[in-house]
Structure 1
Amino acid sequence: MAHGVAQELQRRNYRLEVLDGDVIRTHLSQELGFSKQDRDTNVRRIGFVTELLSRNRIIAIVAAISPYREIREQLKKTSTSFVEVYVQAPLTVCEFRDVKGLYAKAKAGQIKHFTSISDPYEEPLNPEIICQTDKFTPQQCVNQVLDYLEQQDFISALELVTK
Protein backbone atom coordinates (compact mmCIF):
# COMPACT_ATOMS: atom_id res chain seq x y z
CA MET A 1 0.00 0.00 0.00
CA ALA A 2 2.75 2.44 0.91
CA HIS A 3 4.41 1.91 -2.45
CA GLY A 4 1.08 2.27 -4.26
CA VAL A 5 0.45 5.63 -2.57
CA ALA A 6 4.04 6.64 -3.30
CA GLN A 7 3.74 5.78 -7.00
CA GLU A 8 0.64 7.92 -7.37
CA LEU A 9 2.18 10.86 -5.51
CA GLN A 10 5.35 10.60 -7.61
CA ARG A 11 3.19 10.59 -10.74
CA ARG A 12 1.76 13.90 -9.48
CA ASN A 13 5.31 15.24 -9.00
CA TYR A 14 5.35 15.27 -5.21
CA ARG A 15 8.70 14.91 -3.47
CA LEU A 16 8.59 11.95 -1.13
CA GLU A 17 10.43 9.14 0.58
CA VAL A 18 9.12 5.74 1.63
CA LEU A 19 10.61 4.68 4.95
CA ASP A 20 10.36 0.90 4.96
CA GLY A 21 10.68 -0.71 8.39
CA ASP A 22 12.96 -3.50 7.14
CA VAL A 23 15.28 -1.04 5.41
CA ILE A 24 15.40 1.22 8.49
CA ARG A 25 16.32 -1.77 10.66
CA THR A 26 19.10 -2.71 8.22
CA HIS A 27 20.69 0.75 8.03
CA LEU A 28 19.61 2.91 10.97
CA SER A 29 18.59 0.50 13.72
CA GLN A 30 20.66 -2.61 13.06
CA GLU A 31 21.73 -2.88 16.71
CA LEU A 32 18.16 -3.02 17.97
CA GLY A 33 16.23 -6.17 18.78
CA PHE A 34 12.48 -6.59 19.13
CA SER A 35 11.89 -5.87 22.81
CA LYS A 36 9.36 -3.17 23.59
CA GLN A 37 12.15 -0.72 24.41
CA ASP A 38 14.00 -1.45 21.15
CA ARG A 39 10.81 -1.22 19.09
CA ASP A 40 9.98 2.13 20.70
CA THR A 41 13.50 3.38 19.97
CA ASN A 42 13.18 2.28 16.36
CA VAL A 43 9.83 4.04 15.96
CA ARG A 44 11.23 7.21 17.57
CA ARG A 45 14.09 7.18 15.05
CA ILE A 46 11.66 6.78 12.19
CA GLY A 47 9.61 9.66 13.61
CA PHE A 48 12.72 11.85 13.80
CA VAL A 49 13.59 11.13 10.17
CA THR A 50 10.02 11.80 9.02
CA GLU A 51 10.01 15.13 10.84
CA LEU A 52 13.28 16.13 9.12
CA LEU A 53 11.81 15.23 5.74
CA SER A 54 8.54 17.05 6.45
CA ARG A 55 10.39 20.18 7.52
CA ASN A 56 11.92 20.18 4.05
CA ARG A 57 8.58 19.70 2.30
CA ILE A 58 9.19 16.06 1.50
CA ILE A 59 6.33 13.68 2.14
CA ALA A 60 7.40 10.77 4.32
CA ILE A 61 5.44 7.56 3.95
CA VAL A 62 6.26 5.11 6.73
CA ALA A 63 5.71 1.41 6.13
CA ALA A 64 6.67 -0.10 9.46
CA ILE A 65 5.13 -2.18 12.19
CA SER A 66 4.54 0.01 15.20
CA PRO A 67 2.78 -2.27 17.67
CA TYR A 68 2.58 -0.02 20.72
CA ARG A 69 -0.08 2.65 20.98
CA GLU A 70 1.79 4.91 23.42
CA ILE A 71 4.73 5.62 21.09
CA ARG A 72 2.40 6.23 18.13
CA GLU A 73 0.41 8.71 20.22
CA GLN A 74 3.63 10.48 21.30
CA LEU A 75 4.71 10.91 17.70
CA LYS A 76 1.26 12.07 16.68
CA LYS A 77 1.39 14.82 19.32
CA THR A 78 4.87 16.03 18.36
CA SER A 79 4.60 15.79 14.58
CA THR A 80 3.43 18.57 12.34
CA SER A 81 1.63 16.45 9.76
CA PHE A 82 1.04 12.95 11.07
CA VAL A 83 -1.66 10.85 9.40
CA GLU A 84 -2.16 7.45 10.99
CA VAL A 85 -3.21 4.76 8.54
CA TYR A 86 -4.26 1.57 10.27
CA VAL A 87 -3.66 -1.27 7.84
CA GLN A 88 -6.07 -3.71 9.40
CA ALA A 89 -5.99 -7.44 8.75
CA PRO A 90 -7.06 -10.34 10.95
CA LEU A 91 -4.23 -12.59 12.16
CA THR A 92 -5.47 -15.45 9.97
CA VAL A 93 -5.16 -13.24 6.89
CA CYS A 94 -1.64 -12.14 7.90
CA GLU A 95 -0.64 -15.77 8.32
CA PHE A 96 -2.10 -16.67 4.93
CA ARG A 97 -0.26 -13.81 3.20
CA ASP A 98 3.05 -14.53 4.94
CA VAL A 99 5.50 -14.99 2.03
CA LYS A 100 8.53 -15.11 4.36
CA GLY A 101 7.11 -17.82 6.63
CA LEU A 102 7.68 -15.68 9.71
CA TYR A 103 4.32 -16.38 11.37
CA ALA A 104 4.92 -20.15 11.24
CA LYS A 105 8.40 -19.68 12.72
CA ALA A 106 7.00 -17.43 15.45
CA LYS A 107 4.27 -19.94 16.32
CA ALA A 108 6.93 -22.66 16.50
CA GLY A 109 8.88 -20.50 18.98
CA GLN A 110 11.75 -19.83 16.57
CA ILE A 111 11.17 -16.06 16.58
CA LYS A 112 10.72 -14.23 19.87
CA HIS A 113 8.83 -10.94 20.35
CA PHE A 114 6.79 -11.44 17.17
CA THR A 115 3.90 -9.01 16.84
CA SER A 116 0.48 -10.64 17.35
CA ILE A 117 2.03 -14.02 18.22
CA SER A 118 4.29 -13.60 21.27
CA ASP A 119 4.04 -9.80 21.52
CA PRO A 120 0.93 -7.64 21.47
CA TYR A 121 -0.36 -5.37 18.75
CA GLU A 122 -2.29 -2.47 20.24
CA GLU A 123 -4.84 -1.23 17.75
CA PRO A 124 -4.97 2.53 17.23
CA LEU A 125 -7.76 4.30 19.08
CA ASN A 126 -8.36 7.10 16.58
CA PRO A 127 -6.55 6.52 13.29
CA GLU A 128 -7.37 8.95 10.52
CA ILE A 129 -7.75 6.06 8.06
CA ILE A 130 -8.60 2.39 8.52
CA CYS A 131 -7.82 0.20 5.51
CA GLN A 132 -9.56 -3.14 5.87
CA THR A 133 -7.25 -5.22 3.74
CA ASP A 134 -9.31 -8.38 4.14
CA LYS A 135 -12.32 -6.67 2.56
CA PHE A 136 -10.79 -4.35 -0.03
CA THR A 137 -8.13 -4.71 -2.71
CA PRO A 138 -4.75 -3.02 -2.32
CA GLN A 139 -5.73 -0.48 -5.00
CA GLN A 140 -8.98 0.35 -3.18
CA CYS A 141 -6.97 0.94 0.00
CA VAL A 142 -4.49 3.15 -1.89
CA ASN A 143 -7.42 5.15 -3.27
CA GLN A 144 -8.87 5.47 0.24
CA VAL A 145 -5.60 7.00 1.48
CA LEU A 146 -5.32 9.35 -1.51
CA ASP A 147 -8.96 10.44 -1.13
CA TYR A 148 -8.37 11.29 2.53
CA LEU A 149 -5.19 13.24 1.75
CA GLU A 150 -7.07 15.20 -0.93
CA GLN A 151 -10.07 15.89 1.33
CA GLN A 152 -7.79 17.17 4.09
CA ASP A 153 -5.81 19.32 1.61
CA PHE A 154 -2.55 17.49 2.23
CA ILE A 155 -2.35 16.93 -1.53
CA SER A 156 -4.14 18.30 -4.55
CA ALA A 157 -6.52 16.25 -6.66
CA LEU A 158 -4.96 17.77 -9.79
CA GLU A 159 -3.17 15.38 -12.12
CA LEU A 160 0.25 17.06 -11.97
CA VAL A 161 1.28 19.30 -9.13
CA THR A 162 4.57 21.08 -8.64
CA LYS A 163 5.52 21.18 -4.99
Structure 2
Amino acid sequence: MGCVEGFAVWLTGIPASGKSTIAKVLAERLAKRGVKVQVLESDEVRRVLMPRQGYTEEERDSFYRALTYVGELLVKNGVNVVLDATANKRKYREEARKRIAKFVEVYVKCPLEVAMRRDPKGLYRRALKGEITELPGLQRAYEEPLSPEVVVESDRESPEEAAAKIEAKLLELGYLEA
Protein backbone atom coordinates (compact mmCIF):
# COMPACT_ATOMS: atom_id res chain seq x y z
CA MET A 1 0.00 0.00 0.00
CA GLY A 2 1.23 3.45 -0.73
CA CYS A 3 0.65 6.73 -2.39
CA VAL A 4 -0.94 7.06 -5.82
CA GLU A 5 1.18 10.14 -6.72
CA GLY A 6 2.75 13.15 -5.05
CA PHE A 7 0.72 15.32 -2.70
CA ALA A 8 1.43 18.25 -0.39
CA VAL A 9 0.15 18.83 3.13
CA TRP A 10 0.71 22.37 4.42
CA LEU A 11 0.61 22.68 8.21
CA THR A 12 -0.10 26.31 9.03
CA GLY A 13 -0.62 28.07 12.33
CA ILE A 14 1.01 30.57 14.65
CA PRO A 15 4.54 29.87 15.91
CA ALA A 16 4.63 27.17 18.63
CA SER A 17 1.18 25.87 17.67
CA GLY A 18 2.54 22.33 17.25
CA LYS A 19 3.16 22.19 13.50
CA SER A 20 6.62 20.61 13.68
CA THR A 21 5.56 17.95 16.16
CA ILE A 22 2.52 17.03 14.08
CA ALA A 23 4.61 16.99 10.88
CA LYS A 24 7.04 14.53 12.48
CA VAL A 25 4.27 12.24 13.76
CA LEU A 26 2.47 12.37 10.39
CA ALA A 27 5.68 11.45 8.54
CA GLU A 28 6.19 8.51 10.93
CA ARG A 29 2.60 7.30 10.45
CA LEU A 30 2.89 7.51 6.68
CA ALA A 31 6.25 5.69 6.74
CA LYS A 32 4.53 2.79 8.56
CA ARG A 33 2.14 2.62 5.58
CA GLY A 34 5.10 2.49 3.19
CA VAL A 35 4.54 6.09 2.07
CA LYS A 36 7.66 8.21 1.83
CA VAL A 37 7.32 11.86 2.74
CA GLN A 38 9.71 14.79 2.70
CA VAL A 39 9.09 17.28 5.49
CA LEU A 40 10.04 20.83 4.51
CA GLU A 41 10.48 22.68 7.79
CA SER A 42 10.46 26.41 7.09
CA ASP A 43 13.36 27.35 9.39
CA GLU A 44 15.63 24.72 7.81
CA VAL A 45 14.64 25.63 4.25
CA ARG A 46 15.12 29.34 5.00
CA ARG A 47 18.65 28.68 6.37
CA VAL A 48 19.61 26.86 3.17
CA LEU A 49 17.86 28.92 0.48
CA MET A 50 17.95 32.40 2.00
CA PRO A 51 20.49 32.52 4.83
CA ARG A 52 20.83 36.30 4.95
CA GLN A 53 17.17 37.04 4.60
CA GLY A 54 15.10 38.60 7.35
CA TYR A 55 11.39 38.68 8.04
CA THR A 56 10.13 41.84 6.34
CA GLU A 57 6.98 41.50 4.26
CA GLU A 58 9.00 41.46 1.03
CA GLU A 59 11.40 38.86 2.41
CA ARG A 60 8.50 36.67 3.58
CA ASP A 61 6.86 36.99 0.15
CA SER A 62 10.12 35.89 -1.50
CA PHE A 63 10.64 33.01 0.93
CA TYR A 64 7.12 31.59 0.59
CA ARG A 65 7.34 31.81 -3.22
CA ALA A 66 10.57 29.78 -3.03
CA LEU A 67 9.12 27.28 -0.54
CA THR A 68 6.03 26.78 -2.71
CA TYR A 69 8.23 26.29 -5.77
CA VAL A 70 10.33 23.62 -4.04
CA GLY A 71 7.17 21.86 -2.84
CA GLU A 72 5.66 22.02 -6.31
CA LEU A 73 8.80 20.54 -7.93
CA LEU A 74 8.91 17.68 -5.46
CA VAL A 75 5.21 16.86 -5.85
CA LYS A 76 5.42 16.97 -9.66
CA ASN A 77 8.22 14.40 -9.39
CA GLY A 78 6.21 12.01 -7.25
CA VAL A 79 7.54 13.08 -3.85
CA ASN A 80 4.98 13.55 -1.09
CA VAL A 81 5.64 16.71 0.89
CA VAL A 82 4.67 18.02 4.31
CA LEU A 83 5.26 21.77 4.53
CA ASP A 84 5.73 22.85 8.13
CA ALA A 85 5.48 26.63 7.85
CA THR A 86 3.54 29.42 9.57
CA ALA A 87 2.71 31.16 6.26
CA ASN A 88 0.93 33.96 8.10
CA LYS A 89 -0.82 35.28 4.99
CA ARG A 90 -3.55 33.41 3.16
CA LYS A 91 -2.03 34.45 -0.18
CA TYR A 92 1.00 32.22 0.49
CA ARG A 93 -1.14 29.14 1.03
CA GLU A 94 -3.53 30.02 -1.80
CA GLU A 95 -0.60 30.31 -4.21
CA ALA A 96 0.53 26.83 -3.18
CA ARG A 97 -3.02 25.52 -3.64
CA LYS A 98 -3.08 26.93 -7.20
CA ARG A 99 0.29 25.44 -8.10
CA ILE A 100 0.03 22.02 -6.43
CA ALA A 101 -2.77 19.77 -7.71
CA LYS A 102 -3.01 17.50 -4.67
CA PHE A 103 -2.92 20.04 -1.86
CA VAL A 104 -4.22 19.74 1.69
CA GLU A 105 -4.24 22.73 4.00
CA VAL A 106 -4.16 21.87 7.70
CA TYR A 107 -4.87 24.63 10.18
CA VAL A 108 -3.08 23.88 13.44
CA LYS A 109 -5.30 26.03 15.63
CA CYS A 110 -3.86 27.03 18.98
CA PRO A 111 -4.72 29.82 21.42
CA LEU A 112 -1.96 32.44 21.60
CA GLU A 113 -1.62 31.94 25.37
CA VAL A 114 -0.90 28.22 24.87
CA ALA A 115 1.66 28.90 22.12
CA MET A 116 3.34 31.51 24.33
CA ARG A 117 3.58 28.98 27.18
CA ARG A 118 5.10 26.34 24.89
CA ASP A 119 7.51 28.70 23.08
CA PRO A 120 10.22 26.05 22.35
CA LYS A 121 12.37 28.47 20.33
CA GLY A 122 11.91 31.43 22.70
CA LEU A 123 10.30 33.52 19.96
CA TYR A 124 7.53 35.01 22.07
CA ARG A 125 9.92 35.76 24.93
CA ARG A 126 12.24 37.55 22.49
CA ALA A 127 9.33 39.42 20.90
CA LEU A 128 8.11 40.65 24.27
CA LYS A 129 11.64 41.95 24.97
CA GLY A 130 11.63 43.78 21.63
CA GLU A 131 14.32 41.56 20.10
CA ILE A 132 11.87 40.37 17.42
CA THR A 133 9.43 42.81 15.84
CA GLU A 134 7.64 40.80 13.15
CA LEU A 135 6.28 37.71 14.96
CA PRO A 136 3.04 36.42 13.37
CA GLY A 137 0.21 36.08 15.84
CA LEU A 138 1.71 38.66 18.20
CA GLN A 139 3.15 41.68 16.36
CA ARG A 140 2.08 40.68 12.89
CA ALA A 141 -1.30 39.40 11.75
CA TYR A 142 -1.84 35.69 11.22
CA GLU A 143 -4.62 35.20 8.67
CA GLU A 144 -6.56 32.06 9.59
CA PRO A 145 -7.45 29.76 6.69
CA LEU A 146 -10.97 30.26 5.35
CA SER A 147 -11.64 26.66 4.32
CA PRO A 148 -8.81 24.29 5.24
CA GLU A 149 -9.29 20.60 4.51
CA VAL A 150 -8.39 19.79 8.13
CA VAL A 151 -8.54 21.77 11.37
CA VAL A 152 -6.54 20.48 14.32
CA GLU A 153 -6.93 22.02 17.76
CA SER A 154 -3.47 21.39 19.15
CA ASP A 155 -4.40 22.42 22.69
CA ARG A 156 -7.10 19.70 22.73
CA GLU A 157 -5.82 17.00 20.37
CA SER A 158 -2.60 15.05 20.75
CA PRO A 159 -0.08 15.06 17.89
CA GLU A 160 -1.04 11.43 17.22
CA GLU A 161 -4.75 12.32 16.99
CA ALA A 162 -3.92 15.24 14.71
CA ALA A 163 -1.78 13.07 12.42
CA ALA A 164 -4.51 10.41 12.29
CA LYS A 165 -7.04 13.07 11.29
CA ILE A 166 -4.76 14.26 8.46
CA GLU A 167 -4.10 10.69 7.32
CA ALA A 168 -7.86 10.04 7.23
CA LYS A 169 -8.34 13.10 5.00
CA LEU A 170 -5.58 11.90 2.65
CA LEU A 171 -7.39 8.55 2.38
CA GLU A 172 -10.76 10.24 1.85
CA LEU A 173 -9.34 12.38 -0.96
CA GLY A 174 -7.77 9.34 -2.62
CA TYR A 175 -4.22 10.62 -2.11
CA LEU A 176 -3.39 7.43 -0.21
CA GLU A 177 -4.41 3.88 -1.06
CA ALA A 178 -6.50 2.10 1.56
TM-score computed with the length of structure 1 as normaliser: 0.92
SS in 1 for 2:134: coil
Where in structure 2 are there 5+ consecutive unaligned residues? 1-21
What is the CA distance between 1:112 and its match in structure 2?
1.6
Which AA in structure 2 matches 1:124? P
1:22 aligns with 2:43: yes
In structure 1, the partner of 2:112 is 91
CA offsets, 1:49-105, max 9 Å, x none? 111111111101101110011221122122211110111101001001112221011
- The structure having more radius of gyration, on CA atoms, is 1
Runs of 4+ that moved beyond 6 A: none
Assess if the C-alpha contact under 8 Å between 2:88 and 2:142 holds in 1: yes
1:148 aligns with 2:169: yes
Match of 2:85 among 64, 73, 80: 64
Match of 2:34 among 13, 31, 37: 13
TM-score computed with the length of structure 2 as normaliser: 0.84
SS in 1 for 2:58: helix
What is the CA distance between 1:131 and its match in structure 2?
0.5
What is the CA distance between 1:13 and its match in structure 2?
1.8
Assess if the C-alpha contact under 8 Å between 2:75 and 2:100 holds in 1: no
Greater RCO, 1 or 2 (C-alpha within 8 Å, sep 6+):
2
Q: Distance in 1 between matches of 2:50 and 2:86?
A: 14
In structure 1, the partner of 2:60 is 39
- The share of aligned pairs that are identical, in percent, is 33
Assess if the C-alpha contact under 8 Å between 1:15 and 1:57 holds in 2: no
In structure 1, the partner of 2:14 is none
What is the CA distance between 1:122 and its match in structure 2?
0.6
Assess if the C-alpha contact under 8 Å between 2:23 and 2:84 holds in 1: yes
SS in 1 for 2:59: helix
Give the CA RMSD over aligned residues: 1.1
Which AA in structure 1 matches 2:145? P
Q: Distance in 2 between matches of 1:142 and 1:71?
A: 23
